[in-house]
Amino acid sequence: MSAQTYHGSCHCGAVAFEVTLALDHLVTCNCSICRRQGTILGFAPAENFTLLKGAENLSDYQFASGNIHHEFCKTCGVKSFSRGVGPDGVEMRAINVRCLDGADIDSLSPQKYDGASLKG
């Protein structure tokens, strides 16, 4: 699957972004936050991500190690992406691909990731 540029947003539209990524190497995770939120995550380097609007409407939630910034919309509560630094030191965005326009969610094959064993 080749990389494509998608438009993504929270539910109310206050937060919107563009991201270029391929919808493979996706994960669902069983950690304490992912299992509650039901996110399907795809990963992109920060340079492939542009926040179009809503910086002032994001709330930054952190827990455990605090390595990941779980950004969610203050108005509608939807988490469309989070921020963090990858193992190789590269600034990354974890995209909730459920928030991408035109992504055919039912056609995706995310791999299960055992985040619960790593971060709780």
Binding site for Zn ion (CB under 5 A): 10, 12, 14, 73, 75-76
Smallest gap from residue 95 Cβ to Zn ion (A): 16
Nearer to Zn ion, 33 or 73 (CB): 73
Nearer to Zn ion, 12 or 46 (CB): 12
Nearer to Zn ion, 14 or 108 (CB): 14
Smallest gap from residue 71 Cβ to Zn ion (A): 11
Conformational region of residue 54, where left means phi above 0, alpha means psi within -120 to 50, and beta covers everything else: left
Smallest gap from residue 2 Cβ to Zn ion (A): 30
Distance CA 26, CA 8 (A): 16
Residue nearest to Zn ion (CB): 73
Contacts of 117 (CB under 8 A, 6+ apart): none
Conformational region of residue 116, where left means phi above 0, alpha means psi within -120 to 50, and beta covers everything else: alpha
Smallest gap from residue 79 Cβ to Zn ion (A): 10
Distance CA 98, CA 80 (A): 8
